[in-house]
Amino acid sequence: MKLFKLAAWVSGIVAVVIMILGFIALISNQNLFGIRHEANYFITANSFFLLAILCLLAYQGCKDK
């Protein structure tokens, strides 16, 4: 049960970091890590946010039992 909560926090933090990198790439107009399109940062961050939501829902499901 604690693992779901920890995974949700880690996924959320990773998503925020990826979004910050996307904003930096957008503002500085440079290719960070060889990624040419800023949209790729936000698509990846979206996946981590969905993973965080899934982990929180699983945590709530385990807690209710």
Percent of the chain having pLDDT more than 70? 95
How far is 11 from 20, CA to CA, in rounded Å? 14
CA distance 41 to 33: 11
Q: Number of structural domains, the chain?
A: 1
What's the pLDDT tens digit per position in 7-24? 888 888 898 988 888 888
> What pTM was computed for the model?
0.74
Token pair 């949700």 in the structure block, residue: 8
**pLDDT per residue over 36-48, tens digit each?**
776 777 888 888 8
Q: Please give the share of the chain, as a percent, with pLDDT higher than 90.
A: 0
